Amino acid sequence: MAGTWQLGGGGRAAYVYGMKPVALSALLALTPLAAACEDETLTGYAPGVYQLEEIDGERFEWGATLDLTEPGRISGQAPCNGYSADQAAPYPWFKPGPIVSTRRACLHLNGEAAFFKALGEVTLAEASGPVLILSNEAGREMVFRRAE
């Protein structure tokens, strides 16, 4: 069934399809709503760069970051190396894909191994203000704070 464009009241264009006019302005009004829901991952709910404060209740002294500024991806700086991975699970789930990192040696390789091990085991995310907690059902927990 073919339709035609017609100029309606108030100068609004409408596409008349059969007997049902579809207002172009109504369709365009929905576009921002669709864009607002575009990123359902953690990066859509808690964008920013976070500093790791603790793993499993113990202060993490070697320094590590989690960058959530690119939709569907995580990246950051571990104690020795930069890293990145896909992370397409919808919030509140957290499931990074294979982590790619640089291969520099440093004095904090044990801290780096602990960081990557924990990051690969957490499955849930909870964002509240500047605090981000990644955890799993077994009790593993990583606490991050948004960097300023």
Q: Cα separation of 143 and 128, whole Å?
A: 11
pLDDT at residue 129, as a whole number: 95
Mean pLDDT of 115-121: 97
Report pLDDT digits (tens) over 60-111.
999 999 999 999 999 999 999 999 999 999 999 999 999 999 999 899 999 9
Q: For 104-131, what is the mean pLDDT?
A: 96
Q: Closest by alpha carbon to 39, among 48, 50, 47?
A: 47
Report pLDDT for 3: 54
pLDDT at 7: 53
Calculate the alpha carbon distances from 18 to 22, 41, 66 in Å: 10, 40, 53
In sign, the C-alpha dihedral spanning 131, 113, 138, 93 is positive
Q: What residue spans of 1-148 are helical by DSSP H?
A: 24-36, 42-45, 109-121
Q: Which amino acid, one-letter code, is at 22?
A: V
CATH class of 42-146: mainly beta
pLDDT in the model for residue 98: 96
Q: Strands 13-17 and 65-67: what pairing? A: unpaired
Span 5-49, pLDDT tens digits: 555 555 555 444 444 444 444 434 444 444 455 889 999 999 999
In this structure, how many other beta carbons lie within 10 angstroms of the beta carbon of residue 66?
Answer: 26
Average pLDDT (124-131) is 97
Per the CB < 8 A criterion, the answer to whether 72 and 87 are in contact is yes
pLDDT band at 133 (very low <50, low <70, confident <90, very high): very high
Where in the chain are the domains? Answer: 3-36, 42-146
pLDDT at residue number 38:
80
Which single residue is written with the structure tokens 């991806």? 73
pLDDT for res 94: 98
